[in-house]
């Protein structure tokens, strides 16, 4: 399925949309000036999507790859009887469908979580760039491997941790990923998800999510103001969450 967005978004002069992608790739790999310039030169256009818009549907034959410029997005799969499992959450700068760069059919859905801007790159152009620039191909491959590492941690989280630990781990990961991408998150952040959506990511009912959030609040591990989550003590929340950022594979200093 071709992406069916709303009207085009005017280009921004302050920061190139693909500069955010470069920043993300540099958290895991080294890109020199020529590599960065080659990424910036990729043909692309930016579109704005409303919340809950489908960017990819399972079974689509894809001709484009997408990079999230602003807002948030998620991947999900649906069972035969209509039950949804959110399998990943995405922040600005992250490619949304590198799994499909060399696969012809989409095997899951990608949706916007909030109103979002997305840079759309022709799939053939990104394939050619990955094959002709080894460092870029390496960076894209490493990014996909890191996503696999995050998937494994999510499987462990949903399959083996109790609700309190599961939610605390989810909150820690979101903070760590925002901070690694230079989007703050260390002491607090806006969590743009309903309790139902959090439940779909954690394998919990919305009622159970509500009770667990209140439990973390009562223990002083988080402070919630509507959707703003503050973390009074990162050490305390991380201990409850059984959280180590090792699986995120963030380099200590991007080159």
Which two tokens mark 248?
Answer: 């995120």
The confidence score (pLDDT) of residue 187 equals 75
Do 3 and 66 meet the contact criterion of CB atoms below 8 Å apart? yes
Residue 248 per-residue DSSP state: G
Give residues with Cβ within 8 angstroms of 81, minimum separation 6: none
One DSSP character per residue, 86-147 reads EEEEE-TT-BS-GGGSS-SB--SEEEESSSEEEEEEEHHHHHHHHHH-HHHHHHHHHHHHHH
> d(Cα 255, Cα 235) in Å, to the nearest integer?
28
The confidence score (pLDDT) of residue 184 equals 77
CATH domain 17-135 topology:
Jelly Rolls (2.60.120)
Phi, psi for residue 46 in degrees, rounded to 5: -110, 135
Domain range annotation of the chain? 17-135, 161-248
Do 198 and 170 meet the contact criterion of CB atoms below 8 Å apart? yes
**Per DSSP, what are the bridge partners of residue 56?**
110
How many CA atoms lie less than 13 Å away from 174 in the CB half-sphere? 26
pLDDT, one tens digit for every residue, the chain (255 residues): 334 333 333 333 346 889 999 999 999 899 999 999 999 999 999 999 999 999 999 999 999 999 999 999 999 999 999 999 999 999 999 999 888 899 989 999 999 999 999 999 999 999 999 999 999 999 999 999 999 999 999 999 999 999 999 999 999 999 999 999 988 756 789 999 999 999 999 999 999 999 999 999 999 999 999 899 999 999 999 999 999 999 999 986 543
The confidence score (pLDDT) of residue 186 equals 64
The confidence score (pLDDT) of residue 253 equals 52
The confidence score (pLDDT) of residue 146 equals 96
In this structure, which CATH number among 1.10.10.10, 1.10.3720.10, 1.10.10.200, 3.40.50.2300 belongs to the domain 161-248? 1.10.10.10
The confidence score (pLDDT) of residue 4 equals 38
Do 190 and 228 meet the contact criterion of CB atoms below 8 Å apart? yes
One DSSP character per residue, 199-227 reads HHHHT--HHHHHHHHHHHHHTTS-EEETT
The confidence score (pLDDT) of residue 12 equals 39
The answer to whether the 17-135 and 161-248 domains have the same CATH topology is no
């Amino acid at each position: 399925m071709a992406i069916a967005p709303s009207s085009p978004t005017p280009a921004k002069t302050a920061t190139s949309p693909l500069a955010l992608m470069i920043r993300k790739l540099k958290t895991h790999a080294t890109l020199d000036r020529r590599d960065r310039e080659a990424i910036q030169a990729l043909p692309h256009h930016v579109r704005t999507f409303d919340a809950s818009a489908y960017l990819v549907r399972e079974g689509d034959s894809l001709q484009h790859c997408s990079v999230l410029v602003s807002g948030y997005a998620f991947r999900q799969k649906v069972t035969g009887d209509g039950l949804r499992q959110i399998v990943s959450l995405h922040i600005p700068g992250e490619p949304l469908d590198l799994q499909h760069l060399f696969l012809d059919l989409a095997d899951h859905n990608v949706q916007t979580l909030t109103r979002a801007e997305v840079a759309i790159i022709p799939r053939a152009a990104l394939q050619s760039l990955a094959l002709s620039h080894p460092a870029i191909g390496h960076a894209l491959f490493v990014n996909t491997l890191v996503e696999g590492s995050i998937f494994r941690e999510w499987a462990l989280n949903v399959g083996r941790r109790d609700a309190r630990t599961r939610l605390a781990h989810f909150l820690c990961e979101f903070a760590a990923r925002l901070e690694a991408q230079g989007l703050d998150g260390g002491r607090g952040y806006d969590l743009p998800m309903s309790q139902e959506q959090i439940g779909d990511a954690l394998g919990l009912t919305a009622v159970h999510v509500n009770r667990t959030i209140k439990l973390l609040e009562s223990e002083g591990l988080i402070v919630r103001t509507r959707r703003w989550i503050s973390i009074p003590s990162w050490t305390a929340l991380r201990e409850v969450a059984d959280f180590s950022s090792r699986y995120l594979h963030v380099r200590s200093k991007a080159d």
